[in-house]
Amino acid sequence: MIETESLTKVFGDLTAVSGVTLKVAKGDIWGLVGPDGAGKTTLMRMFCGLIEPNSGRITRTGDSFGYMPQKFSLYGDLTVAENINFFGALYKIDSKTIRRRSDEILEITDLAGFKSRFADDLSGGMKQKLALTCALLARPALLILDEPTYGVDPESRKEFWKILYELNKEGVTIVVSTPYMDEAELCKKVALMSRGIIMSTGDPGSLKKSFPYGILELKASARDLDFINDLPEVVDGDFYGDKYHVAVYDVEQAKAAIINLLSEKKVAIHYIRQIPPSMEDVFVAMTKEEVV
């Protein structure tokens, strides 16, 4: 539904999107995953035709798409129903159709009981659901969502993703950007983006499978373990909560080297074990490779 070739967008001396070639197929839940400033919003704006690339090519098939920008402007002093009517009118949908469609969508998004509540009085998660409801009014075959769950609590994020899955089952192709790695796991296909570049694309399962390093999880008595990164056996190490994840070339060799080093430094090891890589492990290691 979207295909790009060597898409590049420059702002002054900053290349926000650099030579991006990708394909979003019909039926995808396609996730654009990367940290703040990676270039996700800029790329999505080009998907929507809101900004022009400096070079490269983009084609989007199908004429209907819904877009939920990162900063969606709901009207706080209008109710849920009034916001829906307002956006429906913007899409030039007649009021009877708006009512019918919004009733259906509000059922899916679980907002049916809140029609007369002012948008300002909704929780963050509910606001996002209302924004999604508005983006869905035109019944788009393609939905482009820019960080729809940013800053939303974990429970509401889960609910939001459930809705995305339902919509996808009904045939809506979904393009969604997120800085959250746990959400990357939920996509059918992901593109990992850092500093304007797409580092890798694929389904989360195969990205993890083709990950070239082993991951060791370590719990030890020290708060600072970054000296482990100096070992030649180690690709990269970082804290994940109270555990330390270390990407390594060879699991057994690295394990022995780490145990040795920690014993020299008199740091007690609670445990060290190999674990399967998460999307976050894959992303972090790829970002490091890119810097090197």
Ligand X SMILES: Nc1ncnc2c1ncn2[C@@H]1O[C@H](COP(=O)(O)OP(=O)(O)OP(=O)(O)O)[C@@H](O)[C@H]1O
Binding site for ligand X (CB under 6 A): 11, 14, 16, 34, 36-42, 70, 147
**Shortest Å distance, C-beta 35 to ligand X:** 7
Sequence-ordered alpha helix ranges (H) in the chain? 40-47, 80-90, 95-109, 124-136, 154-169, 181-184, 204-209, 251-264, 279-291
Q: Is the dihedral of CA 112, 140, 58, 192 positive or negative?
A: positive
Instruction: Look up residue 232 and give its DSSP letter.
Output: T
CB of 42 to ligand X, least distance (A): 3
What is the DSSP annotation of 50-68?
SS--SEEEEEE-SS-EEEE
Report the residue number, 147 or 236, with the smaller CB distance to ligand X.
147
By beta-carbon proximity to ligand X, the closer residue of 36 and 63 is 36
Task: Give the CA radius of gyration of the chain.
Answer: 22
Query: Minimum Å distance from CB 68 to ligand X?
Result: 13
CB-count burial class (<10 Å; 0-12, 13-18, 19+) for 108 = middle
Nearer to ligand X, 27 or 37 (CB): 37
Could you give the CA distance from residue 201 to residue 187 in angstroms, rounded to a whole number? 11
Give the whole-angstrom CA distance, residue 58 versus residue 46.
Answer: 8
> Toward ligand X, which CB reaches closer, 43 or 234?
43
Residue among 14 and 259 whose Cβ is closer to ligand X: 14
In whole angstroms, how close is the CB of 255 to ligand X at the nearest point? 36
Q: Which of 250, 208, 217, 212 is nearest to 231 (CA)?
A: 250
Taking the least distance from each CB to ligand X, the nearer of 163 and 198 is 198
Minimal distance, residue 55 CB to ligand X, in Å: 16
CB of 44 to ligand X, least distance (A): 8
How many helices (H) does the chain have, and how many strands (E)? 9, 13
